[in-house]
Structure 1
Amino acid sequence: MIRPIMKDIFFLNQKSEPATIADKQVAEDLLDTLKAHEAGCVGMAANMIGIRKNIIAVNMGFVNIIMYNPKIVKKSDAYETEEGCLSLEGVRKCTRYREIEVEYQDGNFKKQRQKYSDWIAQIIQHECDHLQGIII
């Protein structure tokens, strides 16, 4: 189901809670909503659709994937950039890292650990910030 985009800053500033297998429908809704906004959006966190769960959807260029309970465990090569967000107006400056390593559970709740770089790494960092109640 395509859900409305949350714009309430108070809600977005709250930390999300761990996701469980019972949250699979939330992940499906997140993927549907990301697909509906693909012209101007490359990633989403569950709180952006009004659900405070540690779930993100990321466009990998050819497919959108779900990450449950993602945690960035390594990062390197900081740089300054500007980002926008569907939940906010305009763009804002932020610091990101070119190389990251993420632990998460995949769509089958199997534990994964992957390295990402550049654009994909930037998207994941933005969405993981959302889960911590950090908005750019």
Structure 2
Amino acid sequence: MIRPIVKDIFFLQQKAEPAAKSDLSVGQDLQDTLLANRDNCLGMAANMIGVNKRIIIVSVDFSNLVMYNPVITAKAQPYQTEESCLSLTGSRPAKRYRHITVDFFDSHWQRQSLSFKELPAQIIQHEMDHLEGRLI
């Protein structure tokens, strides 16, 4: 289901609750909503569609990857950049890392550990900031 994008700063600044296997349907809502916003967006966190759970989606290569309870386990090569967000107006500076490794549960609730670099790594870090209630 395509959901509206939340712009309520108070809601977005709340730390997300851990996701459970019963939250797998949120991944489909994130897929649908990201697809509907694909011209302006490369990733989303569940709180951006009104669900305060630790779930994100990112565009990686030619597919979208949903991550449940993602945790960055390694990061390297910090840099400064500018980012924008569907939930906010304008762009803001952000510190990111060029290389990261993320542990998460996939859509089959299997534990995964993947490494990302450059733009996919940046998108993941942005969305994971949402899970912590941090806005750029």
Q: TM-score, normalised to structure 1's length?
A: 0.98
Amino acid at match of 2:127: E
Amino acid at match of 2:22: A
1:37-84 superposed Cα distances (whole Å, 9 cap, x missing partner)? 000100000000010000001001201110000001111100000000
Paired with 2:42 and 2:27, the residues of 1 have a C-alpha distance of 15
Amino acid at match of 2:45: A
Paired with 2:5 and 2:135, the residues of 1 have a C-alpha distance of 14
Q: CA RMSD in A?
A: 0.6
Paired with 2:114 and 2:30, the residues of 1 have a C-alpha distance of 21
Shift of 1:114: 0.9
Ranges in structure 2 where 5+ consecutive residues have no aligned partner: none
Is the partner of 1:124 in helix, strand or coil? helix
Identity %: 54
Is the partner of 2:77 in helix, strand or coil? strand
Paired with 1:113 and 1:5, the residues of 2 have a C-alpha distance of 29
Paired with 2:27 and 2:18, the residues of 1 have a C-alpha distance of 13
Ranges in structure 1 where 5+ consecutive residues have no aligned partner: none
Paired with 1:117 and 1:100, the residues of 2 have a C-alpha distance of 6
Paired with 2:27 and 2:106, the residues of 1 have a C-alpha distance of 11
Is the partner of 1:100 in helix, strand or coil? strand
Shift of 1:25: 1.4
1:89-117 superposed Cα distances (whole Å, 9 cap, x missing partner)? 01000100001010001111100111110
Paired with 1:25 and 1:113, the residues of 2 have a C-alpha distance of 22
Paired with 1:101 and 1:123, the residues of 2 have a C-alpha distance of 13
Paired with 2:15 and 2:114, the residues of 1 have a C-alpha distance of 23
Amino acid at match of 1:10: F
Is the partner of 1:27 in helix, strand or coil? helix
Paired with 2:48 and 2:93, the residues of 1 have a C-alpha distance of 20
Match of 1:130 in 2: 130
Paired with 2:109 and 2:135, the residues of 1 have a C-alpha distance of 27
Match of 1:31 in 2: 31
Shift of 1:27: 1.1
Match of 2:56 in 1: 56
